[in-house]
Structure 1
């Protein structure tokens, strides 16, 4: 546990990581990665897409969920079965997520401290799956500011942010390039599963 965030080290064996990556590649083929901008008009350093009924989106109008891919106009593809299986195993919930946000981090990408609070019901957890290069994950507090703690997330690790930790501020400080051979050419894919509506 890290400030209430449950950490499942090496949850996915390497073969399972490879199979999940193949399913995510199919998602990206149907719903290509794009680079959103913040509400201040700055491009994010990560590229992203989604699977499921809803996809997370950001532009100058703010942060929100949308029902179609912002570039293709098509619905997002279904959440892959291997990803749903992780949700079921670590949460034990019958209710399935309706969004899987796919973030791709190259060696320079970062994610500032933020809360996942665009969902309607915070009683459902957020589940995070790491694939590829290791990332330094930072956790803060529910209120902005104060002390933080960090740990390295490696390929196959899974996090669950639920209960009192559902709204903690969290982010990615940096990526450790070439720390994994899972993704050809390097990089990290982070999958976050959410119940949106």
Structure 2
């Protein structure tokens, strides 16, 4: 295993490497990583990961959970946000303070002050799992940015344009990196390439992604 995959020294990315309305905040979450990981474990103890089914009947390879006032879900009836976890028929866990603080400060650092997320989608990737290009468009207010936090194994983030056919940029993101996009970039297509195998010192053979949105 190449130890450099897990170096905590931030990569020298310019904030707007992905274009206008975007920011790559290398290592931004490292100062609070222990609190983030502890909070993550508490959330998924209450609302465990599950592989949701798309409206077309396909089971997603990415395992998901949520926290906050609203959670993103998909089933045969469609994509939507709901205040209730359908697996356990009770509200999603409250958003941990560490999550909320990080999302708000990262958005401000990226030029989007006043961001108050009410939903955090938590994705769990295992080796070989990918997330195809898609837009985040189930929210009501597209003036609010997306804040995405990477924990665990490195991944290749795919960032396209406003049309699916547009060229796609590829950028490696590592444990502690935070990506923010909004404004003219808010509806750009994005995804994750198949996750390479490896073992992260703290989280093992897995990558977690925390995606913060204002959905309500």
SS of 1:82's equivalent?
helix
Does the 8 Å contact 2:135/2:188 carry over to 1? yes
CA displacement at 1:182 relative to structure 2: 2.2
Is there any run of 5+ residues in structure 2 with no aligned partner, and where? Answer: 1-15
Of 159, 162, 173, 1:139 maps to 159
Query: Aligned match of 2:185 in 155, 162, 165?
Result: 165
Is 1:36 the equivalent of 2:64? no
Residues of 2 paired with 1:180 and 1:8: CA distance?
A: 20
2:115–2:145 Cα contact (<8 Å) kept:
no
The 3-state SS of whatever aligns with 1:35 is coil
- 2:182 maps to 1:182: no
Is the CA contact 2:128–2:197 (under 8 Å) kept in the aligned structure 1? no
For each residue in 1:22-71, what CA deviation from the matched residue of structure 2 results, as whole angstroms up to 9, or x when unmatched? 10000000111111011111110111010001000011211111111111
Aligned residues: 195
Q: What is aligned with 1:196?
A: 215
Distance 1:172 1:182 in 2: 21
What 5-or-longer segments of structure 1 have no aligned partner?
A: none
2:6 matched residue in structure 1: none
**In structure 2, distance between residues paired with 1:149 and 1:95:** 26
Which position in structure 1 is the counterpart of 2:114? 94
- When structure 1 is superposed on structure 2, of 120-129 and 141-150 the one drifting more is 141-150
What is the TM-score with the length of structure 1 in the denominator? 0.95
How far, CA to CA, are the matches of 1:178 and 1:19 in structure 2? 23
Q: How does 1:22-171 map to 2 (within 5 A)?
A: 22-92=38-108, 93-171=113-191
- CA spacing shift, 1:150–1:141, aligned 2, 3 Å: same
- Provide the rounded CA distance (Å) in 2 between the counterparts of 1:70 and 1:138: 30
Two-structure CA RMSD over aligned residues (Å): 1.3
Partners of 1:150 and 1:94 lie apart in 2 by 29
Superposition misfits of 4+ residues, deviation over 6 angstroms:
none
Query: Is contact 1:134–1:179 with CA below 8 Å preserved after alignment?
Result: no
